[in-house]
Amino acid sequence: MKQRARWSVVLVAGLVLAGCGSASEPDSSSGGSDGKLVVWDWKSGDPSAASYIERAKADFARKHPGVTVEFVAQPFEQYYTLLGAAIQAGKGPDVMLFNGGGQIRDRVDSLVPLDEYVGDDRQRLAGWEAFTKDGKTYAAPVTLQGHPIYYNKSLYQRAGLDPERPATDWNEFVANCQAITRATGAKCFAQGNKEGIGIQFFLSGLGSGVLPPQEYDDWVAGKRNWTSPGVKRVFSLWKEVNDQGLNNDGASSTAMFNDAFAVFQSGKASHVIGLMSDIGHWKDFAEFLEARNVGVMKSPVVTAGTTPSLPYDGGIGYAVAKWTKDPKAAADMVRSLTSTDALKVFYADAGAIASDTTIDVSSAGPAVATIVSETKDGKPALHVALSSKTLDLMGRLSQQLLSGSVTVDKAVEELAKSDRAG
Amino acid sequence: MLRLWPLLLGVNFSFTGDGERNGTAVGLDNYRDLLEDPLFRGALRNVGLLVLLLPIAVAIPGLLATFIYLRVPGHRLFRGVYFFPAVLSPVIVGAIFNLLLAFDGPLNAVLGGAGIGPVDWLGNPHVAMFAVVGVHIWATFGMALVVFLAGFATLDGALLDAARVDGASLPQTIWHVIVPGLSRTIQFVFVTTMIGMLTSMFGLLYIMTSGGPEGSTYLPEYYIWIQQGQMNRPALASAASTVLFMIMVVVGLLQLGLLRRSGRTE
């Protein structure tokens, strides 16, 4: 008994002492031992990325013959959990892959600003904004990611519509959809919002047709007015589309990845707001529908006076960790991973729209050609500007909007609160 | 010591901040955040719901084991079939039921054939949690069934024969002979089923609902995972872990007390 009491005293004392200090030392430096760079990503294990990694490694070896590079492919579902643990321990990879937007902006404390190293690549690569916070760039873009509206040209044809002239105005768009549904039974949108991702694609895919250009730019710049008529219109449109039966049934229990895309690929819906790179994109759709039947359109004009544009950002990009021993060598690794030579291979093998705007894509079908031509006037996607916390909340609120358990006013109020907090 | 030390570090970590306040002591801020987060409150409510559904999760294998023990026709086949799902991993079970319960899936097709409108099993916030718990019970009751069958092996056959001679009906036999005879087994199954429900639903939730719709199927475990991995708030996740640990300690102590008391009365 005495023994036990003594132990309790020791434990409690330890707890109190430790509680006064901090549990973690964010600035402790380790990892990146001399002559070796460790790169973390979730791509290098894919067979389709193998030759891309080879090219990048060869390019880097020419510049730094004495440095060995080790690629560690992590499973994507666990990636940010593992990375979070590594950051917490102050130990981890020297170079790491990030998704643009919230995922990297939440973690810039642990990254080296790359501006002084990547100056020469500025013009050649597109999509820098997604990796920028407070004027500093933290990663170099590898792919572009965005949300084109894909449509099924053969369904347009069967409904007697001209597949080369998709609607430019919302009412016309809805009328076309209804004609297609009458003729073929296909719904207007393939929608999957089980994970709360559908609303993100919807906001970005149609946002440029709803928000006036100035408000759009302000939103991306961080000046967001959630109670403006435009923002409310996006969310009321979200509900309206579902209430009018334009979505496939059960949107809240359909996963965007990949059930919603499967609905589009199997011709059960005429449109889908998809992605540009990696998955749910022109290459996937072309496998089922044939490349010539996959069309890409801009958002129809929902509010008069808007100028629809392609929403896109840097998709994935490599960043350098603060604790690396030799930031210059690590930054050179990032530059090798974004060299034209390597990216050309990545585009061809993996079916990604590469960040390098000098790559020729004319042979990959009309959808890719349209997407690449639209990147010139494209703008950053609206949802990418939001924090992961706000996106998570938006996912839940969007489901509540569809089931009618929250009003548009209440939803934008909660989103504004979360957005202000952070 | 090896077990307690990491635990204490975790508790200590829950009093530090996230993001810009990383590493600084923030007192009880994380716990305040938790209490104010409707998502975490929903997760705790769902734990309560699991406790309420516990009797059903115990009664189903109990009844089925009784039927097998009483040698209903085909009882050998049923014994194997009932146990089969217990060897499947939650990921596989979740994937199977995702297909079965999809809005345009076979279950709704059957309901439609019977003239009942389709139910959005995993998309309706009032239904989804019950759907997931139902699948969890389906997937795990085989193990409890085996425990019950083992309990029946210790039951005195003479009592059943006596009941039969006295002309007792089946419900009377169950209530007056089988339940009292198996009280310790029933308590054991209660404890293990509760632990199973509180600790091993993550896989199913992850595959079937991802916590949705509307956050209605969050459990504390899933909340911890989201905060740590997706929201980059490890300290808040530590606070949530500490709360979950406290709940488990309380539940565990209650159950230990229950087991000990029943041990004494025997």
Domain ranges within chain B, ordered by starting residue = 28-265
Domain A149-309+386-421 classification at class level: alpha beta
Distance between CA atoms of A264 and B131, rounded to whole angstroms?
Answer: 27
Q: Which residues contact A133 (CB under 8 A, 6 or more apart)?
A: A104, A105, A108
Mean pLDDT, rounded, for A391-401: 94
The secondary structure of A159-222 as a DSSP string is: TT--TTS--SBHHHHHHHHHHHHHHH--EEE----TTS-HHHHHHHHHHHHHS-HHHHHHHHHT
Residue A301 DSSP SS3 = strand
| Predicted ipTM of the assembly | 0.83
Model pTM above 0.90:
no
Chain B residues closer than 8 Å to A74 by CB: none
Q: Which residue from A minimizes the CA distance to B210?
A: A195
Position A3 scores a pLDDT of 57
Q: Which residues contact A85 (CB under 8 A, 6 or more apart)?
A: B234
pLDDT at A10 exceeding the cut of 70: no
CB B231 to CB A389 under 8 A? yes
Residue A112 to residue A334: CA distance in whole angstroms: 12
CB of A78 within 8 Å of a chain B CB? The answer is: yes
Tell me, rounded to whole angstroms, the distance of Cα A190 from its chain centroid. 19
Q: Domain extents for chain A?
A: 36-144+313-365, 149-309+386-421
Per-residue model confidence as pLDDT tens digits over A242-292 = 999 999 998 988 999 889 999 999 999 999 999 998 889 998 999 999 999
CATH code at B28-265:
1.10.3720.10
- For B155-200, the pLDDT digits (tens) are 888 888 898 899 888 888 888 888 888 888 888 898 889 888 887 8
Contacts of A302 (CB under 8 A, 6+ apart): A170, A206, A209, A210, A233, A237
Check whether domain A36-144+313-365 has CATH 3.40.50.410, yes or no: no
pLDDT one-digit tens code per residue, A278-324 = 889 998 999 999 999 999 999 999 999 999 999 999 999 999 999 99
- Chain B interface includes A28 (CB < 8 A): no
| Bridge partner list, A36 | A68
| Residues A97 and A74 sit within 8 Å (Cβ to Cβ) | no
The phi, psi pair for A294, rounded to 5°, reads -95, 115
Cβ of A400 under 8 Å from any chain B Cβ? yes
Beta-carbon separation of A253 and B230 below 8 A: no
DSSP for B48-96 reads HHHHHHHHHHHHHHHHHHHHHHTT-TTHHHHHHHHHGGGGS-HHHHHHH
On whether the CB atoms of residues B218 and A408 are closer than 8 A, the answer is no
Conformational region of residue A304, where left means phi above 0, alpha means psi within -120 to 50, and beta covers everything else: beta
